[in-house]
Amino acid sequence: MSLNKGRILIADDEMVNIKVLVATLSDYETVIAKTGEHAVIKAQASQPPDLILLDINMPGMDGYEVCRILKNNPASCSIPIIFITVQASVEDETKGLEMGAVDYISKPFSPGIVRARVANHIELKQQRDLLEKLNVTDPLTKIANRRRMDDYLMTSFAQAKRSKSDMSLLMVDIDNFKPLNDLAGHGYGDECLYQVAQAIEQSLSRPNDLAARFGGEEFCVILPATELKCAREIAEEVRKNIESLQLHHPDENIERVTVSIGCSAIDDSMSEAIALFKQADEKLYEAKEIGRNCVV
């Protein structure tokens, strides 16, 4: 798997330092910030950097303060920070490392050292990101796996309870999957799982909606801040999109691959996420009973 070059945020109040670093790191995509305040904003932007080179001495918000803010925010806490400093004392260096910085670079810059340190930390960060992604991705269907689903269900449920907001859940199950596998073989079965999973994910348009593989031929869609009526509409969209893939079913009595979907929504009686889950599962069972390829 190839890794991209990486994106580096350089925060320094002196333009001359920024220019030297940008030139030294011309192999990378660089983003610059001339104040601590801007550094915080750019580190927490929608496309966050892979690494931050952070000047300690800046007027206004200094490097330590920027580091503290970034390390205290889940959106930016995992971005490695290298402090830029003029000959740091042992105390300074210890303080920075204790605050979560990964390294120090001292001025005046030695281009070779800057490049080598940056390359090491970018590589570590990208390997970590990749592992994190593999850890939450289902290898066959490339959508979220069960572990990610469980985590997200728990967090979303707790959040919905706390803020007394809506939340819905869909259980999606491929109809007649066993005969499909038995008649056409696992290769085609796996292909159908992939196509169906991708179609479910592509049917979702809001950033907080999550599609995950629950297990076997069953999928789960978590819909935060969504009431039941809207969840059913999304489920119907999912069902239609899968039907229109026109995936061949090897049983001659079955026209094509379809799914049944059970929908549930949070209510006051539910104290645990599992209740939401059980209800969607019961609805899914009903959908199967009344003839499949439908939403209940």
217 in active site: yes
Choose between 57 and 241: whose C-beta lies nearer to Mg ion.
57
Q: Give the number of C-alpha atoms closer than 13 A to the C-alpha of residue 289, restricted to the C-beta side.
A: 8
Angle between helices 63-71 and 36-43 (to 10 degrees): 20
Tell me the C-alpha distance between 164 and 189, whole Å. Answer: 41
126 near Mg ion, judged by CB under 5 A? no
13 near Mg ion, judged by CB under 5 A? yes
Choose between 60 and 185: whose C-beta lies nearer to Mg ion.
60
List 14, 191, 217, 282, catalytic entry: 217
CB of 72 to Mg ion, least distance (A): 23
The whole-angstrom distance between residue 122's C-alpha and the CA centroid of its chain comes to: 19
CB 223 within 8 A of CB 234: yes
x/- track of binding to Mg ion for residues 88-107 (CB under 5 A): --------------------
Of 91, 70, 90, the residue nearest 80 (C-alpha): 70
How many Cβ atoms sit within 10 Å of the Cβ of residue 76?
19
CB of 14 to Mg ion, least distance (A): 5
Choose between 57 and 195: whose C-beta lies nearer to Mg ion.
57
Residues in the interface with Mg ion (CB under 5 A) total: 3
x/- track of binding to Mg ion for residues 25-64 (CB under 5 A): ------------------------------x-x-------
Task: Please identify, among the stretches 7-15, 90-98, 99-107, 232-240, the one whose residues bind Mg ion according to the rule CB under 5 A.
Answer: 7-15
Choose between 62 and 150: whose C-beta lies nearer to Mg ion.
62
x/- track of binding to Mg ion for residues 256-275 (CB under 5 A): --------------------
CB 79 within 8 A of CB 108: no
Choose between 4 and 110: whose C-beta lies nearer to Mg ion.
110
- Give the sign of the dihedral formed by CA 186, CA 261, CA 288, CA 265: positive
Of 290, 292, 289, 266, the residue nearest 277 (C-alpha): 266
Partners of residue 35 on adjacent β-strands? none
Residues 135-194 that bind Mg ion (CB under 5 A): none
H or E element in which residue 277 lies: helix 273-289
List contacts with Mg ion (CB under 5 A). 13, 55, 57
Looking at the annotation, which residues are catalytic? 217
